[in-house]
Amino acid sequence: MTEKSERYRQGMETRRQVLGDAFVAAAPVSEGALNGPFLEMATEASWGHVWSRPHWSHRERSMVTIAILAALGHHEELALHIRSTVNTGCSREDIQEALMHCAIYAGVPAANGAFKVAKAVLAEMDET
């Protein structure tokens, strides 16, 4: 097992803050797996370099991430980040505004699909 970088350790800490301990524990970055090096890089880059930067709050990064994922049609990741709003402080109104922004800049079909995902995820969250 190789020693992980400080950026990786910071990334894992931030990842846990945003996605929650239960999610991170259930989806470990497995060393030795085919995608192990990719997951390590993604943890360092996404969570260690970007999400750990001090200028924006996790709430602000959450809104931007939701808008980008919606615009790109990455619904599985979108659902994950909507679930994480319980940890980032991003409100339902923030989600709505991010998706409205998406509609103007990425198109109504992208936002329409994203609103369907958001409604389903929020309903699921309300049940638990």
Read off the pLDDT of residues 37-93 as tens digits, 9 standing for 90 and up. Answer: 888 899 999 999 999 999 999 999 999 999 999 999 999 999 999 999 999 999 999
The DSSP-derived string for 103-125 is HHHH-HHHHHHHHHHHHHHHHHH
pLDDT bucket at 28, cuts 50 / 70 / 90: low
The pLDDT of 111-119, averaged and rounded, is 98
Domain ranges of the chain: 6-50, 58-127
CB 29 within 8 A of CB 40: yes
- CATH class label, 58-127: mainly alpha
- Two tokens, residue 107: 């198109």
- pLDDT at position 115: 98
- pLDDT at position 35: 83
What pTM was estimated for this model as a whole?
0.91
Task: Quote the mean pLDDT of the chain.
Answer: 94
Nearest to 48 by CA among 14, 21, 18: 14
